[in-house]
């Protein structure tokens, strides 16, 4: 309420009193007078309250209108700066976090396996495992083998890199009731075109033998691969040339008998084997991998050296020995191996064929001759579920998920393989009495890949022997469950 309004109220009261007095005080009763006094008191209190409210409103108005604008602006500026500083600190923290994250070691666990890796990739440790549980059953009577389940391979695998240019692999094997070091080597990488590998690894000769153990079409390799050396210790150079169209590997090794791996970790003689292979894939194209001839390749491998001492024995897939030299026979002199191969992979189809020949000087008291053993095999596969075939296994299009009606990949496989021992071995009495001169094996089967880590093999294998003792054929069923990552 303003002053004008209040004055009007007071003026009205005064006029009212005068009018009241004009009517005659004598006519006013005591009761009426008291009522008027009360009304005046009420009006007075009301005016006081109104005046207080007006004074309060005035103080507020005066404060609002006279507060320094500079102070308010400074407060706003201060608040704005505080917000900006907070935002910038958060921005810098984020930058720092990004930088720290980029520099932090990486730990991965997933479809690519398990690994630890420095931020710059110069240091890595990948952990892998190969576990194979087999079932071997004969359908022959009487049983030539004991039907059994067995742990074929238990191989924890450690691969990685140290110091940017050095790769390594260490792979022990606890399968078959023994513990041995299968692979133990490191690579010095100069470039993809040239690296030096030192240590224990597969000898670079045979095509099938150099396919990774977990990627094989069959639980065991062919008879012909018995003529190739397996793992040996040495130094080799490797590289990929011409846009990966040509791979080469070659080096010097201790030298081991056919079909064996070095188990003693030291050589038994001073002679060394030279071994190497060339793999040519002339139509290989990273840009257009689906071309019809992309997966066509040729390889030639071989070795040469002088070896003495132990001679090999040859066994079937279930470990039955079908050839051995007579007691007292030893290797003594030159040993040469050669193995050409042809392979082809296109869409779901894959096949390879290879020939192997191993020539070794063999002697026993009074007899010495060069023994030339030969073998070959042809293998084929077809993925019924349409995945791409290859040397590096199968990646199912759909992983096993029965609830979703998905079953993984299914592959049919077949193989025919022959191992032909030199006739002179028999004519000169260098073979044991139960030895087979010509051994042929036919294998068919199916492989199921529930996902890229699990593989179930199921095969039937029939092996025929030509021996002096009319050895009966061997008919076996091999089942393998394999975990590999």
Partner 1 sequence: MTSFKKITAVALLGLAFSASAFAQKQLLNVSYDPTRELYQDIGAAFAAAWKAKTGEAVSTKTSHGGSGSQARAVIDGLQADVVSLALAYDIDAIAERGIIARDWQSRLPNNSTPFTSTMVFLVRKGNPKKIKDWNDLVRPGISVIMPNPKTSGGARWNYLAAWGYALKQNGNDENKAKDFVRALYKNVPVLDSGARGSTTTFVQRGIGDVLIGWENEAFLAVNELGKDKFDIVVPSISILAEPPVAVVDKVAGRHGTAAVAKAYLEFLYTEQGQEIGAKRFYRPRLKSIADKYAAQFPQIKLFTVNEVFGGWQNAQKKHFSDGGMFDQIYQPGS
Least Å distance, CB 80 to partner 1, is 8
Instruction: Give the number of C-alpha atoms closer than 13 A to the C-alpha of residue 127, restricted to the C-beta side.
Output: 7
**Stretch of 79-87, 168-176, 181-189, 235-243 contacting partner 1, by CB under 8 A:** 79-87
Q: Which residues touch 267 (CB under 8 Å, ≥6 apart)?
A: 233, 254, 255
Find the binder of partner 1 among 81, 94, 147, 290 (CB under 8 A).
81
Least Å distance, CB 136 to partner 1, is 54
Contact 111, 395 (CB under 8 A): no
Q: Does 88 bind partner 1 (CB under 8 A)?
A: yes
Contact 353, 340 (CB under 8 A): no
Q: Does 90 bind partner 1 (CB under 8 A)?
A: no
Q: Does 100 bind partner 1 (CB under 8 A)?
A: no
Least Å distance, CB 391 to partner 1, is 36
**Residue 474 to residue 462: CA distance in whole angstroms:** 6
Least Å distance, CB 165 to partner 1, is 12
What is the DSSP pairing of strand 349-364 with strand 295-309? unpaired
Closer CB to partner 1, 103 or 384, in the complex: 103
Contact 227, 358 (CB under 8 A): yes
Residues 139-198 that bind partner 1 (CB under 8 A): none
**Stretch of 85-93, 166-174, 285-293, 316-324 contacting partner 1, by CB under 8 A:** 85-93
Q: Does 67 bind partner 1 (CB under 8 A)?
A: no
Closer CB to partner 1, 95 or 466, in the complex: 95
Beta strands in 139-226 (DSSP E): 148-162, 166-173, 180-191, 194-202
Find the binder of partner 1 among 85, 97, 112, 119 (CB under 8 A).
85
Q: Which residues touch 415 (CB under 8 Å, ≥6 apart)?
A: 217, 218, 222, 377, 378, 379, 380, 441, 442, 443, 444
Q: Does 89 bind partner 1 (CB under 8 A)?
A: yes
Least Å distance, CB 190 to partner 1, is 14
**Stretch of 86-94, 174-182, 206-214, 365-373 contacting partner 1, by CB under 8 A:** 86-94
Write out the two tokens for 353. Answer: 């064929």
Closer CB to partner 1, 121 or 433, in the complex: 121
Least Å distance, CB 49 to partner 1, is 46
Q: Does 79 bind partner 1 (CB under 8 A)?
A: no
Q: Does 28 bind partner 1 (CB under 8 A)?
A: no
Find the binder of partner 1 among 44, 48, 87, 401 (CB under 8 A).
87
Least Å distance, CB 89 to partner 1, is 6
Closer CB to partner 1, 10 or 74, in the complex: 74
Q: Does 76 bind partner 1 (CB under 8 A)?
A: no
Task: Tell me which residue of 356, 381, 359 sits closest to 448, measured CA to CA.
Answer: 381
Residue 228 DSSP code: S
Q: Is the omega angle on the peptide bond into residue 388 within 30 degrees of 0, that is, cis?
A: no
Q: Does 92 bind partner 1 (CB under 8 A)?
A: yes
**Residue 249 to residue 240: CA distance in whole angstroms:** 9
Least Å distance, CB 84 to partner 1, is 5
DSSP 265-332: SS-SSS--EEEEEEEE-TT--SS-TTSTTTEEEEEEEEEEEEEEE----EE-TTS-EEE-BPTT-EEE
Q: Does 73 bind partner 1 (CB under 8 A)?
A: no
**Stretch of 80-88, 241-249, 283-291, 319-327 contacting partner 1, by CB under 8 A:** 80-88
Q: Does 93 bind partner 1 (CB under 8 A)?
A: no
**Residue 273 to residue 336: CA distance in whole angstroms:** 9
**Residue 120 to residue 408: CA distance in whole angstroms:** 36
Task: Tell me which residue of 301, 373, 300, 302 sits closest to 331, measured CA to CA.
Answer: 373
Least Å distance, CB 478 to partner 1, is 52
Closer CB to partner 1, 41 or 87, in the complex: 87
**Stretch of 87-95, 169-177, 222-230, 241-249 contacting partner 1, by CB under 8 A:** 87-95
Write out the two tokens for 188. Answer: 């010095």
Q: Does 466 bind partner 1 (CB under 8 A)?
A: no
Which residue ranges make up the site for partner 1 (CB under 8 A)?
Answer: 81, 84-85, 87-89, 91-92
């Amino acid at each position: 309420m303003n002053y004008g309004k209040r004055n009007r109220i007071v003026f009205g009261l005064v006029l009212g009193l005068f009018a009241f007095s004009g009517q005659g005080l004598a006519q006013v009763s005591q009761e009426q007078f008291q009522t008027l006094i009360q009304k005046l008191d009420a009006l007075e209190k009301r005016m006081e309250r109104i005046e207080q409210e007006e004074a309060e409103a005035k103080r507020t108005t005066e404060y609002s209108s006279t507060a320094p604008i500079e102070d308010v602006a400074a407060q706003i500026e201060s608040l704005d700066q505080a917000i900006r500083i907070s935002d910038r600190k958060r921005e810098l923290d984020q930058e720092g976090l990004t930088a720290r994250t980029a520099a932090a070691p990486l730990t991965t666990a997933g479809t690519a396996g398990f690994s630890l890796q420095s931020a710059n990739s110069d240091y890595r440790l990948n952990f892998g495992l190969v576990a194979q549980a087999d079932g071997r059953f004969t359908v022959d009577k009487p049983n030539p083998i004991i039907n059994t389940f067995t742990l074929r391979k238990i191989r924890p695998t450690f691969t990685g890199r140290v110091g940017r240019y050095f790769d390594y692999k260490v792979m022990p094997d606890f399968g078959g009731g023994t513990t041995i070091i299968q692979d133990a080597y490191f690579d010095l990488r100069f470039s993809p075109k040239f690296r030096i590998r030192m240590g224990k690894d597969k000898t670079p000769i045979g095509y099938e033998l150099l396919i990774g153990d977990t990627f094989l079409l069959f639980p065991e390799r062919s008879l012909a691969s018995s003529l190739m050396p397996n793992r040996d210790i040495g130094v080799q150079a490797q590289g990929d040339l011409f846009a990966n169209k040509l791979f080469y590997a070659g080096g010097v090794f201790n030298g081991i008998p056919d079909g064996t791996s070095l188990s003693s970790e030291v050589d038994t003689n001073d002679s060394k084997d030279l071994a190497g292979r060339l793999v040519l894939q002339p139509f290989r194209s990273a840009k257009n991998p689906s071309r019809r001839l992309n997966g066509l390749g040729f390889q030639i491998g071989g070795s040469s050296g002088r070896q003495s001492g132990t001679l090999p024995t040859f066994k079937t897939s279930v470990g039955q020995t079908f050839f051995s030299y007579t007691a007292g026979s030893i290797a003594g002199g030159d040993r040469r191996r050669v193995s050409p191969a042809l392979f082809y992979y296109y869409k779901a189809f894959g096949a390879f064929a290879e020939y192997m020949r191993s020539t070794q000087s063999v002697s026993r008291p009074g007899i010495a001759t060069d023994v030339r053993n030969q073998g070959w095999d042809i293998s084929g596969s077809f993925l019924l579920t349409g995945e791409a075939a290859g040397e590096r296994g199968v990646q199912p299009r759909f992983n096993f998920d029965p609830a979703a009606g998905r079953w993984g990949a299914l592959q049919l496989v077949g193989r025919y393989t022959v191992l032909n021992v030199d006739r002179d071995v028999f004519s000169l009495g260098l073979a044991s009495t139960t030895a087979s001169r010509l051994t042929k094996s036919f294998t068919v089967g199916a492989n199921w890949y529930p996902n890229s880590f699990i593989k179930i093999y199921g095969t039937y294998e029939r092996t025929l022997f030509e021996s002096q003792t009319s050895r009966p054929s061997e008919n076996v069923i091999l089942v393998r469950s394999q975990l590999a990552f």
